[in-house]
Amino acid sequence: MSMIDDKRKEQQKRYAQSEKGKAKRREWAQQWRAKHRQQSREYAKKYRQQNLARVREQKQQSGQKLRLQVLTHYSQGTLKCARCGFADLRALCIDHIDGHAYMWRKAHTGGASGSRLYQWLKGHEYPQGFQVLCLNCNLIKRAERGENKKLGRCHQETE
């Protein structure tokens, strides 16, 4: 290879790693996938089947990252329960401040929960009306308000 070829390859590499180059690549890929929808789906399916463990791990990591972003936002940067101050990430969750979260989720997100709810919250630029609670405080709050996940009210009221 000549010195000119090496310089050209280096320039191409720098461009590909630049924001402009990445944006151009994303745009091209999006257009290609739209034009070759079936071929793209077949490739993605084949890739998932051949790399099942890797795909699962990546999905789990991206879900954890998204959860951390949403919880950090709604706890104003300090990961802890808004009621009791409990700070173990494993037991923290999003709470709809006005209660009846199931009915709200069903009306606004089609019933999304877990990572789908986190995606919705982030995609809608973190709407007001949510807070971070630990699981204990969340259950206590639901019991105090007489909420039932599916009915929107205490099951004892229906008997």
Picking from 64, 147, 36, 52, the residue whose alpha carbon sits closest to that of residue 158 is 147
Mean pLDDT throughout 126-152? 83
* pLDDT given at position 1: 57
The residue that leads in pLDDT, 155 or 15, is 15
Q: Work out the end-to-end distance of the chain between its first and last CA atoms, rounded to an integer number of angstroms.
A: 83
pLDDT tens track for 25-56: 999 999 999 999 999 999 999 999 999 999 99
**Tokens found for residue 106:** 């069903």
